[in-house]
Structure 1
Amino acid sequence: MPGPTDSPIPRGPGGVPDGRRWYAANEVLAFLLELAALGCLSWWGFTVGGHAALRVLLGIGAPLVAVVLWALFAAPKARLRPRLPAVLAVKAVVLGSGAAALYGVRHPVAAAAMAVAVVANTAVAEAFRRPEAAPAGGVGAAAPSAADG
């Protein structure tokens, strides 16, 4: 009979689940949020405006602008990779526009849920991105010896 140490989930120090699976799940969620933002922008574009030509232009143009911004500044292999604050700003504009588009098509609860999911996903991604704190004295710092005194 399997015991508590025979878990299929890899465990790190102290029995905490290994972060790789959580990181991968968060990355999948990020991709789904990106796709949802594009879909919401398209939905909004096709429903606003009076003339059919304007609706088509906004329905295709709004997500296209978001894709171009993302590809240039926020994608993992972006052509122009600015510093982290600028990348986060582009992500906030694109993903926030998706939530705003949901609000614009009169779905405020879904818009709020998407905004919360985007903020939580970004916060978790940043937590995974930051290295663990180094021990006091830094990595590889030697303890003082009697010869140092």
Structure 2
Amino acid sequence: MSDAQQHEQQPKIGPNDILRFFLELFAFVSLGVWGFLAFPLPWPGVLVGIGAPLLAILAWALFVSPKAVFRIDTFGKAIVEIAVFSAAALGWWTLGQPVVAVVFAVVAAVSGIINGRKELAG
């Protein structure tokens, strides 16, 4: 395969793609922080602190990631993404951090809209 053909097959990664990656990581970490801080330790805090991000990561891997196990349409991906990001934002809100919750929610929403428009156009 020539260099030109390999270059064409590689996906283009833009600034919003990088932002979305960090939003995903922040959401997963946020769910863990919420689980450990919002519930009494050791139980159920440890269970929720580990389980909540694992469930979010599983949902993301199954439906939203570029190599998702199940191929669903753009709207299905958006529903899973909204659920994960909303859970993270609500977690910060319940921890008494409304500024973090609102800033995260707004940045995630704008990034999601940009990504959705790109997917629907392509």
- Scaled to the shorter chain, the TM-score interval is 0.7 to 0.9
Amino acid at match of 2:84: V
Deviation string for 1:49-107 (max 9, x for gaps)? 23412111111000000000001111111001112211100000011111111112110
| SS of residue in 1 equivalent to 2:43 | helix
Q: Which residue of 2 aligns with 1:35?
A: 25
The gaps in structure 2 that reach 5 residues or longer are 1-11
1:86 and 2:86 matched: no
Q: 1:67 aligns with which of 54, 57, 64?
A: 57
1:125 Cα deviation from its structure 2 partner: 1.2
Q: CA RMSD in A?
A: 1.5
TM-score (norm 1): 0.70
TM-score (norm 2): 0.84
Q: Which residue of 1 aligns with 2:89?
A: 99
Q: Which residue of 1 aligns with 2:104?
A: 114
**Is the contact made by 2:74 and 2:120 (CA closer than 8 Å) also made in structure 1?**
no
**Is the contact made by 2:74 and 2:119 (CA closer than 8 Å) also made in structure 1?**
no
> Percent identity over the alignment?
32
Q: 1 CA distance for matches of 2:35 and 2:121?
A: 41
Q: What is the number of equivalent residue pairs in this alignment?
A: 111
**Is the contact made by 2:92 and 2:100 (CA closer than 8 Å) also made in structure 1?**
yes
Q: 2 CA distance for matches of 1:35 and 1:129?
A: 21
Q: Which residue of 2 aligns with 1:126?
A: 116
Q: 1 CA distance for matches of 2:41 and 2:105?
A: 30
The gaps in structure 1 that reach 5 residues or longer are 1-19, 133-149
The structure with the greater share of residues assigned to helix is 2
Q: Which residue of 2 aligns with 1:53?
A: 43
| Runs of 4 or more consecutive aligned structure 1 residues displaced over 2 Å after TM superposition | 126-132
